[in-house]
RNA sequence: GGGUAGUUAGCUCAGUUGGUAGAGCGUCGCCCUUACAAGGCGAAUGUCGGGGGUUCGAGCCCCUCACUACCCACCA
C-alpha cells in the first residue's frame, strides 16, 4: 500500500470493477429489499442535496446486500416537464430562437438531445458518488414502458369517472402560458396598496344616483370583470341595498348588489366587489348567485376585447395604473392605503399568477366511488392513503411528518393535471370537429371503442400531463407495470423504504401512496425517511443566485479557486450578482477546495444524517472525516507491516494465545457491531458513523495497535502469543472494514483486498462479503476490566508526565501504595503494556503503612501511583496540580453527599440508584482522602 | 391567522424509557516515539434560550414567554 491515502487513485478503479462484474444486480434468494431512487430531474447536474440523498440510500442498499437480502436499488431520471422545457427554451433564447420558431416536433427533438446530455451527466455523477443501483434497469419517466403506464392510469381513472375535463378557475402562469397546480404557486408577502373605489348605486331605471357603495380592492384592474358587489346580509348599513344594482364605473355595466356571508362587515368597507372570473373566492360567490363570469384577460394577462376599448391590449399593471387614474378623475377614488398582501408567484417563472378560466383535466381524489366505478362508495383514492399511514402500514421517520401529510390529505382539492406545455406525456384524449372528447390508450382504441368512422378527423389533445403524474407511478411503473406478471414487480413491490426531502411530501410521496394503493392494491413502501435540506456553512439555502452552491464532485475531486469562481458566476440569471459572489467565494475558499474523496464525503453525510433536521454543510467536519480515512489507511499499513509474510494464525492446528488486549478488542468489536447494526436499522446513520469512528480510531488505533507493540516487538519471543495477536490484529481490522463498508465503500475495499488473505478470507469484493454480526459469547468481561485498569494506570502516569513537564522519553520509576491483590494480578499480566505505553521503569509495591518519598500522585481506583519527586518534579507544580484535582473531586462529592443526606432521596429513589450513588460517594471520599494526605505531605516538605 | 421543528462548549452537532452533560473541529501546552504531523500525548471550556411547575432528582416531562427556520391558509 502507498504511504499516503490518495482516494482518487482507488475510487474509479473499484467502481468500474464492481459495475463490470455485475454486482449491483439483485442476487440470491434472500428477502427482497428495494429502494427506488427519487428520480433526479434531467435539468442539469446533481447538487449536494442529491449527494446526501444518494449516499445515505446507498449505505442502506450496501448494508442489506451484505446482509444477504436480494437487494435492488432502482435507478432512473425524471423528465421534469416545465423545468426541463424552460432550460431548453433558455438555451434557444440565447440564440434568439423561440420554441415557436422551431415548432413542437423540432423543439421536442432539442429537448430529447438535452435529456441525453443531462441524463448522462447525472448517471456519471451517481457513479462517482459510489452508489450501486442496478444500471441495467435504468428508467426514464418518458420511456415507452413508463409512458404506457401513464396512459393506462389515465384511461382507467377516466373510465371510473375520477378524471374529468372541466372549465374552472386555475392558477395561470401568464409567462409560461400554462396552468400550474396549487403546489407550484408560492405566495409571499409584498408591499402593495388597497384602493377604495366608489360605485354609484343605480335607480330603478339604471341611472346613477348620489348614493355610493365603496369597495376596497388590491387589484383595481379586475373591476373590468366585476359582476356584482357583495355585502353581508345582516349588515345594517347596506342590507337595504341588496337586490338593487350599481353602475360599474368606466364600464357602465349594471351589476347587482348581493347579500353573501363572504362579505365581512368588519373588513374594509364591508362591501366587496365580486370578479368571478379572476378570483377564487369570488368564483364561489358567483356560483352561489349565478353571476356572469367575465374574463377580461388574454393568456398573457393583458386586457382583452371584452373590456372597454381604451384598455384593450394593456398589460395588467399598466391597466391598473390607468384605471386608478381614470377613477380618480371621475372623483370615484375614495382612498389609497399602504397594504401588505400575499402575492402568488409561479415557482418556475417567478411571475404573478392569475386566476384564469380555462379548460383543464382534473383528477378527483376525494369523490366517493365504489370499486366498480359507480359513485356512492368510500372515497376511492385519498382515503386509503390516509388509512395506510393512520394504521402504521406506512411509517414516517421522523413521525411528526404524519401531521403534515394528514393536514394536506384531509384538505385535498382536485388535482389539475393538464399543462399547456410541449415536453411531457401527451394527454390520451382525442377530439372530433364537433368538440366531442374520446379518451383511450391510442387513436385506434378510441375509434374502435366508440365506433368512429375511419374518415372522422380526430386530433389529440395538445396538452401534456403534470410531471408529477408520472412520478406518482414510479414505484410500480419502473418495475414493469402495467404488466402485472413482471417478475420484478412481483419481487420488489412493495418496496421497503423511500428517502426524500420534506419539500416533496405533497408533490410526490402522497401521490405515490394514493396511486400505489389504487393500482397495485398495496402501499408502495413501508418507511418514509424524510431528511432535511443541505445548507451552506452559514445555514443559507444553496442556490445559484446566492452563489453558495457546492458540487459534490468538487468536494470529492477538489477544485481550484479560479474554476470555482467561474463555475459559480457563469450562466447566471442575474449577472449583476456575479461580483459579490466572486468576492465571497474568494474569501471563503482562498485556496479553492482540496480533494477529500468520496468516502470522506459519505462519512460526513452519514454523520450529519439525523432525520428531519437541515444540514449545515461544514467543510471542517469533512476534513475531519478525510483524516479519519487517512488514519484507517495508516492503521492498515501498520497491520500489514506486522503481518505480511508472518504467521497470522491461519493454520488451525497451531496453538494461539490471546492477550488481554486481544480479547479486549474482540469484545469491543462485538459491542460495536451490535450497536452499528441497531443504528442502521433505526436509520440513525449519525450514530452508526460515530460508533465506527469511535471504535476504529479511539479503541483500535489509539489503544489496541499500541498494545500490540510490546507483544509483537523483538523483545518478546513468545510465538504463540505473537500468532494470536497478529491474527486478532488482522481479523478485527477485516471485520471493521466490512462493518464500515456501507458508508465508506472505497477505502474499505482497497484495504480489504490487501489484508483479506492474511485474515484467511477469500472473495472478489468486500461488497459481497457478509455483514459482521455480533457474537456476544466473544465478549470477555475480565479482559474489558483488565484493559480498563491498564488504561487508567497508563493515563495516570501520562498525566503526571505532561503536567510536570517530564520528557516523554524519560523512564519513570514508580511506587504503588494501597493496592489490592487484584491490582497486583492485573499488573502482572499487563506489565509489558505499562512499560511500553507509559515508559515505566522499576515498580515498587509498598506495604501498608510503609513510608514513601515525596511524590506526585495518580489514582487507579483506590491504588495510588507515586512518582518520586527527587530531581524530577516541581513541588509547587505538584501542589497546584493536586489542589486542582481535589477541588474537582470535592465539588463532585459535595453534590453526591447532598443527595444522600436528603432523606427524601433515600426514601424514594430506587435501590439501584441509591446504591450506586453511595458507592460513588465512597470511592470519591477515599480518593479525596488520599489526595489530601498527599497534598499535606508535599506542603510539609 | 394556524401548524411543525429548533435554541446544549468559540463553531457544527449527539444526548431513546428523568439519575446532575458528550463528540468532532477550533483553542492552549508538550512531542518529528520505528502505521499515521491529514499525527501522538495532555489540558481548558457549558447558570443545556428565559421564567414557572411536577419530582427525592429535569437538557429530557408539563405550562408560559422569547427568538430562529420552515410549512399551510380565502381575506377584499
Inter-helix orientation angle A660-681/A781-803, to 10°:
100
Lowest mean pLDDT among A209-223, A809-823, A898-912: A898-912
CA distance A791 to A727: 23
Over 90: is that where the pLDDT of A794 sits?
yes
Q: For residue range A618-637, list pLDDT tens digits in order.
A: 888 899 999 999 999 999 99
Please give the pLDDT value at position A37. Answer: 96
**φ/ψ of residue A605, rounded to 5:** -60, -45
What torsion, rounded to 10 degrees, do the Cα atoms A492, A493, A497, A498 define?
A: 110
Average of per-residue pLDDT across A160-181: 90
Helix (H, G, I), strand (E, B) or coil at A831: helix
A546 CB neighbours strand B below 7 A: no
CA distances A754 to A2, A22, A581, A770, Å, are: 11, 22, 45, 18
CA to C1' distance (Å), from A621 to B25: 6
Residue closest to A622 by CA, chosen among A562, A554, A523: A554
Helix (H, G, I), strand (E, B) or coil at A683: coil
What is the ipTM score, two decimals? 0.94
Q: For residue range A855-892, list pLDDT tens digits in order.
A: 888 888 889 999 887 766 677 888 888 888 888 888 88
Contact A734, A759 (CB under 8 A): yes
| Grid cell for residue A715 | 523483545
Q: For residue range A706-728, list pLDDT tens digits in order.
A: 999 999 988 888 999 999 999 99
Residue A267's nearest nucleotide, by CA–C1', is B76
A620 CB neighbours strand B below 7 A: yes
Nucleotides of B under 7 A from a protein CB: 3-6, 11-16, 19-20, 23-26, 29-31, 33, 35-36, 38-44, 55-57, 69-76
Please give the pLDDT value at position A873. Answer: 66
The pTM assigned to this predicted structure is: 0.92
Residue A905's nearest nucleotide, by CA–C1', is B56
Lowest mean pLDDT among A60-69, A135-144, A159-168, A720-729: A159-168
What 8-state DSSP symbol labels residue A697?
Answer: I
Q: For residue range A329-377, list pLDDT tens digits in order.
A: 989 988 888 888 888 988 888 889 999 999 999 998 876 655 454 444 4
CA distance A109 to A103: 10
Please give the pLDDT value at position A579. Answer: 87
Residue A632's nearest nucleotide, by CA–C1', is B36
What torsion, rounded to 10 degrees, do the Cα atoms A150, A155, A157, A161 define?
A: 150
CA distance A3 to A393: 52
CA distances A476 to A280, A448, A664, Å, are: 36, 29, 49
What torsion, rounded to 10 degrees, do the Cα atoms A67, A69, A70, A73 define?
A: -70
Residue A703's nearest nucleotide, by CA–C1', is B40
A215 CB neighbours strand B below 7 A: yes
Please give the pLDDT value at position A64. Answer: 97
Please give the pLDDT value at position A905. Answer: 86
CA to C1' distance (Å), from A88 to B19: 63
**DSSP string covering A699-758:** IIIIIIIHHHHHHHSTT---HHHHHHHHHHHHHHHHHHHHHHTTTSHHHHHHHHHHHTTT
CA distance A2 to A751: 11
Residue A913's nearest nucleotide, by CA–C1', is B19
CA distance A740 to A264: 64
Contact A844, A815 (CB under 8 A): yes
| Grid cell for residue A39 | 428520480
CA distance A805 to A790: 22
A613 CB neighbours strand B below 7 A: yes
Percent of chain A with pLDDT over 90: 58
Q: For residue range A1-30, list pLDDT tens digits in order.
A: 888 899 998 999 999 999 999 999 999 899
State in Å, rounded, how far the first CA of chain A is from the last one.
Answer: 57
CA to C1' distance (Å), from A729 to B46: 39
CA to C1' distance (Å), from A603 to B49: 31
Provide the sign of the torsion angle of the four alpha carbons A895, A897, A901, A906, taken in this order.
positive
Average of per-residue pLDDT across A74-78: 96
Average of per-residue pLDDT across A206-233: 88
Contact A220, A383 (CB under 8 A): no
CA distance A156 to A152: 6
A273 CB neighbours strand B below 7 A: yes
CA distance A479 to A491: 9
Q: Is A98 left (phi over 0), alpha (psi -120 to 50) or beta?
A: beta
What is the number of other CB atoms lying within 10 angstroms of the CB of residue A20? 8
Over 50: is that where the pLDDT of A528 sits?
yes
Residue A187's nearest nucleotide, by CA–C1', is B73
CA to C1' distance (Å), from A398 to B3: 16
Residues in chain A: 941
A859 CB neighbours strand B below 7 A: no
CA to C1' distance (Å), from A803 to B28: 13
A614 CB neighbours strand B below 7 A: yes
Q: For residue range A271-309, list pLDDT tens digits in order.
A: 899 999 999 999 989 988 889 999 999 999 999 998 899
**With bands split at pLDDT 50, 70 and 90, how would you rate the model's confidence at A771?**
very high
Please give the pLDDT value at position A273. Answer: 93
A629 CB neighbours strand B below 7 A: yes
Contact A764, A835 (CB under 8 A): no
CA distance A273 to A343: 19
Please give the pLDDT value at position A116. Answer: 94
Residue closest to A492 by CA, chosen among A21, A54, A64: A64
Please give the pLDDT value at position A376. Answer: 45
CA distance A224 to A312: 11
- A906-925 residues near strand B (Cβ < 7 Å): 907-910, 913, 916
CA distance A649 to A656: 7
Over 50: is that where the pLDDT of A677 sits?
yes
Mean pLDDT of chain A: 90
Average of per-residue pLDDT across A887-915: 84
**φ/ψ of residue A696, rounded to 5:** -65, -50
**DSSP string covering A434-474:** T--EEE-SSHHHHHHHTT--TTS--EE-S-EE-HHHHHTTH
What torsion, rounded to 10 degrees, do the Cα atoms A699, A701, A706, A711 define?
A: 90
Residue A183's nearest nucleotide, by CA–C1', is B72
CA to C1' distance (Å), from A5 to B35: 12
CA to C1' distance (Å), from A610 to B14: 9
**DSSP string covering A836-884:** HHH-EEEEEEPPTT----SEEEEEETTEEEEEE-TTT--HHHHHHHHHH
Please give the pLDDT value at position A904. Answer: 85
CA to C1' distance (Å), from A676 to B5: 27
Task: Compare A892 and A640 and report the one with higher pLDDT.
Answer: A640
CA to C1' distance (Å), from A617 to B10: 18
Please list, in sequence order, all residues whose beta carbon lies within 8 angstroms of the beta carbon of residue A845, skipping any fewer than 6 positions away.
A816, A819, A824
CA to C1' distance (Å), from A549 to B69: 20
CA to C1' distance (Å), from A891 to B41: 27
What 8-state DSSP symbol labels residue A774?
Answer: -
Residue A687's nearest nucleotide, by CA–C1', is B14
Residue A265's nearest nucleotide, by CA–C1', is B76
A895 CB neighbours strand B below 7 A: yes
CA distance A136 to A173: 39
A697 CB neighbours strand B below 7 A: yes
Amino acid at each position: 500500500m502507498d504511504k499516503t491515502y490518495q482516494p482518487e487513485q482507488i475510487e474509479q478503479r473499484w467502481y468500474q470493477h464492481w459495475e463490470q462484474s455485475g454486482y449491483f444486480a439483485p442476487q440470491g434468494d434472500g428477502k427482497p429489499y428495494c429502494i427506488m431512487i427519487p428520480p433526479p430531474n434531467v435539468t442539469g447536474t446533481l447538487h449536494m442535496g442529491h449527494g446526501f440523498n444518494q449516499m445515505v440510500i446507498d449505505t442502506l442498499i450496501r448494508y442489506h446486500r451484505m446482509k444477504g437480502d436480494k437487494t435492488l436499488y432502482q435507478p432512473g431520471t425524471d423528465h421534469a416537464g416545465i423545468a426541463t422545457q424552460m432550460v431548453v427554451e433558455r438555451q434557444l433564447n440565447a440564440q434568439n430562437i423561440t420554441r415557436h420558431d422551431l415548432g413542437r416536433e423540432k423543439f421536442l427533438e432539442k429537448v430529447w438531445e438535452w435529456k441525453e446530455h443531462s441524463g448522462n451527466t447525472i448517471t456519471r455523477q451517481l457513479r462517482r458518488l459510489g452508489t450501486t443501483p442496478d444500471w441495467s434497469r435504468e428508467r426514464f419517466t418518458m420511456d415507452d414502458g413508463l409512458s404506457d403506464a401513464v396512459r393506462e392510469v389515465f384511461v382507467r381513472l377516466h373510465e371510473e369517472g375520477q378524471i374529468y375535463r372541466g372549465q374552472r378557475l386555475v392558477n395561470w402562469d401568464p409567462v409560461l402560458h400554462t396552468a400550474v397546480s396549487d403546489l407550484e404557486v408560492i405566495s409571499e408577502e409584498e408591499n402593495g396598496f388597497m384602493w377604495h373605489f366608489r360605485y354609484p348605486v343605480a335607480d330603478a331605471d339604471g341611472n346613477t344616483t348620489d348614493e355610493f357603495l365603496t369597495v376596497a380592492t388590491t387589484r383595481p384592474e379586475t373591476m373590468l370583470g366585476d359582476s356584482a358587489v357583495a355585502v353581508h346580509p345582516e349588515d345594517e348599513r347596506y342590507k337595504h341595498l341588496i337586490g338593487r344594482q350599481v353602475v360599474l364605473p368606466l364600464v357602465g355595466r349594471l351589476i347587482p348588489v348581493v347579500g353573501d356571508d363572504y362579505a365581512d362587515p368588519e373588513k374594509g368597507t364591508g362591501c366587496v366587489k365580486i370578479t368571478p372570473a379572476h378570483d377564487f373566492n369570488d368564483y364561489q360567490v358567483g356560483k352561489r348567485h349565478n353571476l356572469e363570469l367575465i374574463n377580461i384577460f388574454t393568456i398573457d394577462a393583458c386586457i382583452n376585447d371584452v373590456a372597454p376599448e381604451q384598455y384593450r391590449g394593456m398589460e395588467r399593471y399598466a391597466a391598473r395604473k390607468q384605471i386608478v387614474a381614470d377613477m380618480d378623475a371621475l372623483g370615484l377614488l375614495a382612498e389609497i392605503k399602504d397594504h401588505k398582501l400575499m402575492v402568488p408567484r409561479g415557482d418556475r417563472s417567478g411571475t404573478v399568477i392569475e386566476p384564469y378560466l380555462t379548460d383543464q383535466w382534473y383528477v378527483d381524489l376525494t369523490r366517493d366511488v365504489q370499486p366498480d366505478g359507480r359513485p356512492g362508495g368510500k372515497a376511492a383514492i385519498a382515503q386509503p392513503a390516509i388509512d395506510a399511514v393512520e394504521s402504521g402500514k406506512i411509517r414516517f421517520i421522523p413521525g411528526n411528518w404524519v401531521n403534515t401529510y394528514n393536514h394536506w390529505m384531509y384538505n385535498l382539492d382536485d388535482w389539475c393535471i393538464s399543462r399547456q406545455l410541449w415536453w411531457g406525456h401527451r394527454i390520451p384524449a382525442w377530439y372530433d370537429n364537433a368538440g366531442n372528447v374520446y379518451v383511450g390508450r391510442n387513436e385506434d382504441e378510441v375509434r374502435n371503442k366508440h365506433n368512429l368512422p375511419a374518415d372522422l378527423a380526430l386530433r389529440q389533445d395538445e396538452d401534456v400531463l403534470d410531471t408529477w403524474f408520472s412520478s406518482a407511478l414510479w414505484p410500480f411503473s419502473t418495475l414493469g407495470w402495467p404488466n402485472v406478471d413482471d417478475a420484478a414487480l412481483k419481487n420488489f413491490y412493495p418496496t421497503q423504504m423511500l428517502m426524500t426531502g420534506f419539500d416533496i411530501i405533497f408533490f410526490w410521496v402522497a401521490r405515490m401512496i394514493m396511486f400505489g394503493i389504487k393500482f397495485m392494491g398495496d402501499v408502495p413502501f413501508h418507511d418514509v425517511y424524510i431528511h432535511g435540506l443541505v445548507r451552506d456553512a452559514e445555514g443559507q439555502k444553496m442556490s445559484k443566485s446566492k452563489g453558495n452552491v457546492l458540487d459534490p464532485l468538487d468536494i470529492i475531486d477538489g477544485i481550484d479557486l479560479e474554476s470555482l469562481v467561474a463555475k459559480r458566476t457563469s450562466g447566471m440569471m442575474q449577472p449583476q450578482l456575479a461580483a459579490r459572489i466572486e468576492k465571497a467565494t474568494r474569501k471563503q475558499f482562498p485556496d479553492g477546495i482540496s480533494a477529500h474523496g468520496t468516502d470522506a464525503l459519505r462519512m460526513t453525510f452519514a454523520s450529519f444524517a439525523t432525520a428531519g433536521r437541515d444540514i449545515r454543510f461544514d467543510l471542517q467536519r469533512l476534513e475531519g472525516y478525510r483524516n479519519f480515512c487517512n488514519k484507517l489507511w495508516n492503521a492498515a499499513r501498520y497491520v500489514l507491516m506486522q503481518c505480511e509474510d508472518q504467521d497470522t494464525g491461519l493454520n488451525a492446528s497451531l496453538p494461539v494465545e490471546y492477550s488481554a488486549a486481544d480479547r479486549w478488542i474482540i469484545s469491543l468489536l462485538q459491542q460495536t457491531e451490535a450497536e452499528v447494526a441497531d443504528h442502521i436499522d433505526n436509520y440513525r446513520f449519525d450514530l452508526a458513523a460515530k460508533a465506527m469512528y469511535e471504535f476504529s480510531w479511539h479503541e483500535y488505533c489509539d489503544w489496541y495497535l499500541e498494545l500490540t507493540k510490546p507483544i509483537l516487538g523483538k523483545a518478546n519471543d513468545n510465538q504463540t502469543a505473537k500468532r494470536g495477536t497478529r491474527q486478532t490484529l488482522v481479523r478485527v481490522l477485516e471485520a471493521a472494514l466490512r462493518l464500515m463498508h456501507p458508508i465508506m465503500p472505497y477505502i474499505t475495499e482497497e484495504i480489504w483486498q490487501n489484508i483479506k488473505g492474511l485474515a484467511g478470507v477469500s472473495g472478489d469484493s468486500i461488497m459481497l462479503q457478509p455483514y459482521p454480526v455480533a457474537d456476544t459469547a466473544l465478549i470477555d468481561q475480565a479482559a474489558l476490566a483488565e484493559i480498563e485498569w491498564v488504561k487508567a494506570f497508563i493515563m495516570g502516569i501520562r498525566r503526571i508526565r505532561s503536567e510536570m513537564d517530564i520528557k516523554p522519553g524519560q523512564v519513570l520509576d514508580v511506587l504503588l501504595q494501597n493496592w489490592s491483590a487484584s491490582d497486583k494480578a492485573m499488573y502482572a499480566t499487563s506489565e509489558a503494556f505499562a512499560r511500553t505505553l507509559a515508559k515505566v521503569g522499576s515498580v515498587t509495591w509498598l506495604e501498608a503503612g510503609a513510608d514513601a518519598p515525596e511524590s506526585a500522585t495518580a489514582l487507579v481506583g483506590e491504588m495510588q501511583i507515586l512518582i518520586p519527586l527527587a530531581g524530577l518534579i516541581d513541588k509547587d507544580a505538584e501542589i497546584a496540580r493536586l489542589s486542582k484535582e481535589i477541588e474537582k473531586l470535592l465539588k463532585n462529592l459535595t453534590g453526591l453527599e447532598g443527595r444522600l443526606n436528603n432523606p427524601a432521596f433515600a426514601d424514594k429513589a430506587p435501590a439501584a440508584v441509591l446504591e450506586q450513588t453511595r458507592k460513588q460517594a465512597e470511592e470519591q471520599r477515599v480518593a479525596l482522602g488520599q489526595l489530601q494526605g498527599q497534598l499535606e505531605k508535599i506542603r510539609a516538605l
